Amino acid sequence: MTEEQCLNPLLVNCVLPPAIIYAFCYSIPECVTQIYENTYFQGGDLSMVFTPNVNYCQVVCTYHPMCLFFTYLPATWTNDPTKRFSCYLKDSDTETLPKVDMEGAISGHSLKQCNIKISACSPDVYKGLDMEGKNYDVTMADTYQQCQKRCTNDNHCQFFTYASETFHNASLRKNCFLKHTTLGTPTNIRVLDDVVSGFSLKPCQLSEIACNSRTYVNMNFLGEELNVTYAKGHKACQQVCTDMIRCQFFTYFPLQDSCNEERKCKCHLRMSSSGSPVEIVHGGGRISGYSLRLCKKKASTVCMQHSEKSIRIVGGTDSSPGEWPWQVSLHVKLSRQRHLCAGSIISNQWILTAAHCVVSLENPNIWRVYAGILKQSEIKEETPFFKVEEIIAHPQYKFAQTGYDIALMKLDKPMNFTDLQLPICLPSKEDANTLYTNCWVTGWGYRKERGRVEDILQKVTVPLMSKEECQARYRDRKIDDKAICAGYEEGGRDACKGDSGGPLSCKHEEVWYLVGITSWGEGCARPRQPGVYTKVVEYADWILEKTM
């Protein structure tokens, strides 16, 4: 590599921040690892950056093409508080610099010449430090770990700061600030209680595919206009953007004066030099989002494609292979193994089920997740299954009849999607008022109250019921907005024991949505006693927070 190539970060195929992206093109004659306390290297200044500790300062110096020495002023520096956390990068034609006694300063050498593997990966976090930069994205997060993961998976994020739930400003608590700068290092670092800062883990090769499938209501993403077309719904608009190579983001106009006679509305396809909107205008009823081109193909398109298995038989009947590819069977293995509940695939590593299935069985090691199966009799000791890494029940769950009957299972490894195992689409908040007319309940549960688990996956179509009508059937129970009811006046077709946690799947505009999770009911298929399901759309934010 030539010196010109080395100094041009655009020619280096790397994911390091600009401040430490350079290859080792400058050598020194010997390896010196000694750190000098209370010492300042005088002269030779190349540049100054802010780093959270002396170790990171040495890494920056090591990766800089010309830095041979550094001096660091730590958090305890008292001479000039504005210079705390300063990292001075230095050079010398003679490969030496005079050392001056200076209380509190720490100095050392670049490790370019050392036979030591120096990594730009910085997994440490820094509690009580605010690393300043351009705050280009602010979201809510339950933990700093979630915040760091978002930074790692965001194309532009170089470092982050997370305000904890005890932060002095209540309006900023649990906020995740994603940041970047020209150099890739903070523009300043200050001591601040109840915050945690850290760097993106991209250099640690821990980033995932940069897929942003979320849509944003009442936001208009501005950028270079590529095309304006018409689409039936914001998800269809997103798919049009995904299918257009240059489109990076879109804005959908579901406004009366923007729609045609076919009830299709304007879909603005846009791009920018950075890949992000040049400006975001809030309000106006518009819906915006990003291309799904960077998402796994099967995961991103399953919600836009209707099932080829279009034959449906009303009543409790056998399903066909691949008819409900998001359905999983959840087995518990204690003294013996058995099917206990069902669940739904919502991504390549997450299963959505009912909290009442897992609250007394929260040890992940006892669970086995079987995907892509039709018959329980097909499950043998050698049948492949997914182990469970983590179980997250909703913290407000007490028992099924009081709501919050929802839980997540994280698989120990990502699932490879096939025609037999695919995710179902989750309804977004803007879909809350959608009228679903083609809904199905599936499971291996009992066909009658005193029955047994069925061998073949059963399916039954059920009509949805209004909250008021359902409340009239269960006068001694509270049916709130977080529940949805389905069933027949005469009974006879319903979910039953063993179906718990499974999907209430509804097809709308050729897309299958997970509208409900089988939760509870009085008996099974009794007249005037509908099944009660957890209304998934009411937990959209919670699901997103836990699975990000």
Return the active site residues: 356, 405, 500
What kind and span of H or E run contains 99?
strand 99-109
Residues 470/532, Cβ–Cβ less than 8 Å: yes
In residues, how long is the chain? 548
CA distance 258 to 244: 21
Going by C-alpha positions, the residue among 255, 445, 433, 417 that lies closest to residue 338 is 445
The per-residue DSSP string of 330-384 comes to EEEESSSEEEEEEEEEEETTEEEE-HHHHTT---GGGEEEEES-SBGGG--TTS-
Give the DSSP letter of residue 417: P
SS3 content of the chain, % helix, strand, coil (to 5): 15, 35, 45
For 230, how many CA atoms within 13 A lie in the half-sphere containing its CB? 11
> Cα 313 to the chain's mean position, in Å?
37
* DSSP assignments along 236-270, one per residue: HHHHHHHHSTT--EEEEE--GGGB-TTS-EEEEEE
Give start and end residues of each alpha helix (H) in 380-531.
467-473
**3: exposed, middle or buried (Cβ count in 10 Å: 0-12, 13-18, 19+):** exposed
How far apart CA 191 and CA 540 sit, in angstroms, is 35
Name the token pair of 148: 């760091």
Say if residues 42 and 206 touch (Cβ distance below 8 Å).
no
Q: Are 249 and 219 in contact (CB under 8 A)?
A: no
Rg over CA atoms, the chain: 28
| Helix ranges (DSSP H) in 194-315 | 234-243, 297-301
